Chain A
Amino acid sequence: MTVGLNHFLALSAVLFSLGIYAVLTRKNAIQVLMGIELILNSANINFIAFAHYGNFGLTGQVISLFVIILAAAEAAIALAIVLNIYKQYSTVNVDEIDGLKE
């Protein structure tokens, strides 16, 4: 079977559902972050696949560049928050962090 647009889209769909699974099940906040990175990567595959097969020129590639920029900013902020939580609670398990103030 020759590889076409469908194959890339199916790959990104499976990657997306794996990311959703990581976000839903993992207790460690950092592994939830890894799931979010998987989701962003699958969205990027979609953007670039449609740009390649849909005769849109380079628009999809430019947009996926902005997605990568946002992912970098998000990872920096989220890890700062996680480190701060670890200072307060001595754990990063999301089910044990249940206080709004100390």
Chain B
Amino acid sequence: MTTYDLIFYLFALIILVSAFIVVAARNIIYSAFSLLFTFFGVAGIYVLLNADFIAVVQVIIYVGGILVLIIFGVMLTNKITEVEIKTESFQVLPSIIISGIIGGTLVAIFTKTNWKVAEPQILDKTVTEIGRFLVSHYMILFELAGIILLVALIGSVMIARKEKLETEEVEK
């Protein structure tokens, strides 16, 4: 067993344990904070797969952006002065069966299939190459991503401020 394997199993353990806490914790704050460890573990897996730039992007966007947004959502939608911030589950048994079937089938397919694996190549300049891809081969996707982010920005501001707009119209 090499160091690579040990690091993989360590990160896999972190991901699976913290993801299990995310889905099973009764306190929503515990879920939100354990999501942090899941994202960090996934970033470590990306580093193992020779995707250093994606790992840094994962840490910046997921941990720095989405997770903060989710914690804001938790804080704004629960009465934080109450001590209990509990959430409930429902339809637990059918969901365990359904997700167990899905997960078991996927794991069986993924491990039984005889994948044609090429020799993993170690690239030393991923950032340069990704940048070159983004402005040449994936140019239209890149521009579309910018438009989507702008639309999401404007849309979320519009949705979050809808009530105020309506009262202004009533006043007129």
Write the chain A residue with the least CB distance to B112.
A6
Q: How many A-B residue pairs have CB under 8 A?
A: 234
The answer to whether A10 and B149 touch across the interface, beta carbons within 8 angstroms, is: no
B interface, CB within 8 angstroms of A: 1-2, 4-5, 8-9, 12, 15-16, 19-20, 22-23, 28, 31-32, 35, 38-39, 42, 45-46, 49-51, 53-54, 57-58, 61-62, 65-66, 69-70, 72-74, 76-77, 87-92, 94-96, 98-100, 102-104, 106-107, 110-111, 115-121, 123, 126, 129-130, 133-134, 138, 141, 145, 148-149, 151-153, 155-157, 159-160, 162-163
A6 to chain B, nearest CB (A): 5
Question: For the complex, is A87 an interface residue (Cβ under 8 Å from B)?
Answer: yes
Interface size on A, residues (CB 8 A): 72
Once the chains bind, are A24 and B138 in contact (CB under 8 Å)?
A: no
The answer to whether A97 has its CB under 8 Å from any CB of chain B is no
Give A residues with C-beta under 8 Å from B: 1-11, 13-22, 24-28, 30-31, 33-35, 37-38, 41, 44-45, 48-49, 51-55, 57-59, 61-62, 64-66, 68-77, 79-84, 86-87, 92-93, 95
